[in-house]
């Protein structure tokens, strides 16, 4: 069966995510949306956006099953609906939210749904498997809710998994003196630095670095919040970096409703009483940056300057100016080289297309 994930209907409302890469690359819980579908169905899953293909084939042609890529599936839900789908030409659109299925419509729902998604993904990845032993140097509450993959290092830390499961991915490292309260996930090769304080529901994506105080936040991959400062009720895309001392507010002084920029309506929408920072791929903030409650930063931004940054920062912003394209590529490549990678031709073409729009 050829399964294709379509993000045409939700790309604008999920901004600043789904801009550089497909919506299915959004991470909620332990896995990206695409990874969830592949694990649950046991099949290869494709994206329908031609600009993101690694080949020239348009895989969106004649799929057996077309799925809107904002659907967050669970194994129990798939087992229920799969027999009724038939052989070919079916589609799955937004379904009614329940305990077994969620629909992601706005970027702030990533942190709002992360608790639910972490618990679902934990069961998906750990059922029938045995965790690596937990070192006796740690202080543990509810060890039965902790799963440690091969190659992970966890020493001299406090982990409370009675409030939710804790997943430590392959080759990840929890340095000495960390305090973790589940639900929490560290993906492959992620690092939580010494003395880090993490409240659930938080996800550190692959090769991310966490430090200071983090609460109910998601870092997609290759992003850093590595120093003291507070990150709460927030989402960072890929290849983001927050300088030392950077913090965000997640609740207004009035305890009133927070509003965030929504790109499709070009307006600020009410989110709830708590919402912090939403930051798109390849964006960074200087040391001691103070983000106001409910701030949205676009892609490829370099945030610095006196006072509070604006509550909405558009794509390709450098301070108060527009980034030059050559400087964007140079800076991204510098950050990638820190993790032994470099910008490839495909990424350059996508960024150039977006920059010239």
Tell me if 311 is assigned to some domain.
yes
**DSSP structure string for 228-295:** SSEEES-EEEET-EE-TT-EE--S-TT---EEEEETTTTEEEEEES---EEE-TT-EE-TT-EEPTTE
Please write the tens of the pLDDT for every residue from 284-341.
999 999 999 999 999 999 999 999 999 999 999 999 999 999 999 999 999 999 999 9
Residue 138's domain comprises 120-323
Peptide bond into 201 cis (omega under 30): yes
pLDDT of residue 61: 56
Closest to 263 (Cα-Cα) out of 105, 150, 33: 105
Our CA angle for 295, 299, 300, nearest 5°, is 115
Q: Are 335 and 241 in a shared domain?
A: no
User: Last residue of some domain: 105, 133, 156?
Assistant: 105
Does the model's pTM come out above 0.85?
A: yes
Contact, 294 vs 259, CB < 8 A?
A: yes
Distance between CA atoms of 289 and 294, rounded to whole angstroms?
14
| Number of domains present in the structure of the chain | 3
Tell me if 114 is assigned to some domain.
no
Q: Are 200 and 281 in a shared domain?
A: yes
Tell me if 110 is assigned to some domain.
no
Tell me if 187 is assigned to some domain.
yes
Tell me if 270 is assigned to some domain.
yes
Q: Are 42 and 86 in a shared domain?
A: yes
Closest to 117 (Cα-Cα) out of 85, 70, 153: 70
User: Last residue of some domain: 81, 105, 129?
Assistant: 105
Q: Are 149 and 269 in a shared domain?
A: yes
Tell me if 115 is assigned to some domain.
no
Q: Are 338 and 207 in a shared domain?
A: no
Peptide bond into 183 cis (omega under 30): yes
Q: Are 187 and 263 in a shared domain?
A: yes
- Show the tokens assigned to 134: 């937990």
User: Last residue of some domain: 105, 135, 156?
Assistant: 105
The CATH number for 267's domain is 2.160.10.10
pLDDT of residue 54: 44
Task: Point out the residues of the chain with pLDDT beneath 50.
Answer: 50-57, 59-60
Q: Are 32 and 85 in a shared domain?
A: yes
Q: Are 250 and 316 in a shared domain?
A: yes
Tell me if 113 is assigned to some domain.
no
Q: b/e for 255-275, b at 16 or more Cβ within 10 A?
A: eeebbbbbbeeeeeeebeebb
Work out the end-to-end distance of the chain between its first and last CA atoms, rounded to an integer number of angstroms. Answer: 36
Tell me if 55 is assigned to some domain.
yes
Q: Are 302 and 334 in a shared domain?
A: no
Please count the residues of the chain.
357
pLDDT of residue 7: 87
Contact, 218 vs 190, CB < 8 A?
A: no
Q: Are 242 and 215 in a shared domain?
A: yes
pLDDT of residue 2: 83
pLDDT of residue 86: 56
CA atoms within 13 A on the CB side of 311: 15
- Show the tokens assigned to 122: 């934990």
Q: Are 89 and 166 in a shared domain?
A: no
The enclosing H or E element of 327 equals helix 325-337
Q: Are 221 and 357 in a shared domain?
A: no
């Amino acid at each position: 069966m050829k399964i294709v994930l379509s993000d045409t209907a939700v790309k604008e409302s999920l901004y600043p995510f789904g801009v550089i890469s497909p919506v299915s690359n959004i991470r909620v819980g332990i896995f990206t949306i695409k990874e969830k579908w592949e694990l649950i169905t046991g099949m290869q899953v494709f994206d329908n956006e031609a600009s993101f293909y690694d080949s020239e084939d348009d895989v969106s042609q004649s799929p057996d099953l077309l799925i809107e890529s904002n659907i967050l599936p669970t194994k129990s839900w798939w087992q229920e609906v799969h027999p009724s789908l038939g052989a070919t030409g079916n589609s799955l659109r937004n379904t009614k939210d329940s305990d077994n299925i969620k629909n992601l419509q706005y970027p702030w729902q990533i942190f709002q749904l992360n608790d639910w998604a972490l618990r679902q993904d934990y069961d998906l990845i750990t059922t029938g498997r045995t965790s690596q032993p937990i070192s006796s140097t740690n202080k543990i509450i509810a060890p039965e809710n902790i799963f440690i993959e091969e190659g992970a290092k966890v020493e001299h830390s406090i982990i409370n998994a009675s409030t939710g499961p804790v997943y430590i991915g392959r080759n990840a490292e929890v340095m000495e003196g960390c305090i973790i309260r589940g639900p929490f996930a560290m993906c492959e090769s992620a690092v939580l630095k010494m003395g880090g304080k993490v409240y659930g529901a938080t996800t550190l994506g692959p090769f991310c670095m966490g430090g200071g105080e983090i609460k109910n936040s998601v870092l997609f991959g290759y992003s850093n919040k590595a120093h003291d400062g507070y990150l709460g009720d927030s989402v960072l895309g890929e290849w983001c970096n927050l300088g030392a001392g950077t913090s965000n507010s997640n609740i207004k002084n009035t305890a009133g409703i927070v509003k965030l920029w929504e790109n499709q309506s070009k307006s600020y929408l009410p989110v709830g009483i708590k919402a912090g920072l939403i930051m798109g791929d390849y964006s960074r903030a200087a040391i001691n940056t103070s983000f106001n409650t409910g701030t949205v930063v676009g892609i490829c931004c370099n945030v610095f300057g006196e006072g509070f940054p604006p509550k909405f920062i558009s794509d390709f912003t450098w301070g108060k100016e527009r980034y030059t394209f050559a400087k964007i590529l140079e800076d991204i490549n510098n950050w990638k080289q820190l993790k032994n990678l470099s910008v490839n031709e495909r990424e350059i073409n996508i960024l150039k297309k977006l920059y010239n729009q």
